[in-house]
């Protein structure tokens, strides 16, 4: 039994970023860059399970996007607000997702896999142009060594939702295709896959 109701990784923004870099390697930031390329300048963006708001700080801020970060971690939200970022404490199970041109959930959808269809529809309904799901499908959590796999799972426990489960390339693609994914971005050997679920969206920028 774990001693805490959530991993110490989630106690501070610095510890979180360091751990994610260890678990995901160089692709931790590259996948944010890939997401940012899908979002036009000045678009409104809701970043669900935003963590330390790395997507906005490093990429979307430069594109003048109207951004709001949502996360269950009140400490992360407090730090974001102290840096002038619009952020809100949010529970995806019970709270309403604010509408936006683009709804993004990165490295977090697996937490909700037991209710994946319900959560997917909730996210998609909030998006006007597209829902973007970026999911880790290969990292330390998928190691064949039990101790590494167990430790990675424990370290990724945010205190709510499922933390032991992980999608693999096949299971995530199968889920995405079931929901009529518009574009599925994955290259063999990559640590992340991106599902893009587009809607008919007029260019309003």
pLDDT in tens, 151-180: 555 555 555 555 667 898 999 999 999 999
**29 located within any domain:** yes
| pTM for the structure as a whole | 0.82
**4 located within any domain:** no
Tokens of 129: 């142009």
Please give the residue range of the domain that contains residue 193: 9-198
**At 4, is the pLDDT very low, low, confident or very high (cuts 50, 70, 90)?**
very low
Structural domains in the chain (count): 1
Residue 9 vs residue 51, higher pLDDT: 51
Residues 86, 83: Cα–Cα separation, whole Å: 9
Coil vs helix vs strand at 103 = strand
**103 located within any domain:** yes
CATH number where 177 lies: 3.40.50.150
Mean pLDDT, all residues of the chain: 85
């Amino acid at each position: 039994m774990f001693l805490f109701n959530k991993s110490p990784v989630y106690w501070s923004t610095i510890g979180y970023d360091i751990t994610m870099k260890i678990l995901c390697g160089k692709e931790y930031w590259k996948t944010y860059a890939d997401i940012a390329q899908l979002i036009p300048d000045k678009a409104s963006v809701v970043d669900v399970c935003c963590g330390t708001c790395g997507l906005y700080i490093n990429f979307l801020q430069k594109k003048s996007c109207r951004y709001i970060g949502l996360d269950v971690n009140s400490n992360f939200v407090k730090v974001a607000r102290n840096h002038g970022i619009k952020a809100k404490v949010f529970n995806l199970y019970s709270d309403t997702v604010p509408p936006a041109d683009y709804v993004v959930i990165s490295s977090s959808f697996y937490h909700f896999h037991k209710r994946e269809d319900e959560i997917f529809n909730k996210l998609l309904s909030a998006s006007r142009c597209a829902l973007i799901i970026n999911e880790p499908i290969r990292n330390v959590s998928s190691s064949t060594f039990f101790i590494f796999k167990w430790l990675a799972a424990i370290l990724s426990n945010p205190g709510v939702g499922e933390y032991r489960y992980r999608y693999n390339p096949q299971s995530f693609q199968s889920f995405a295709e079931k929901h009529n994914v518009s574009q599925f971005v994955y290259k063999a050997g990559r640590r992340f896959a991106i599902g893009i679920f587009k809607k008919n969206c007029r260019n309003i920028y």
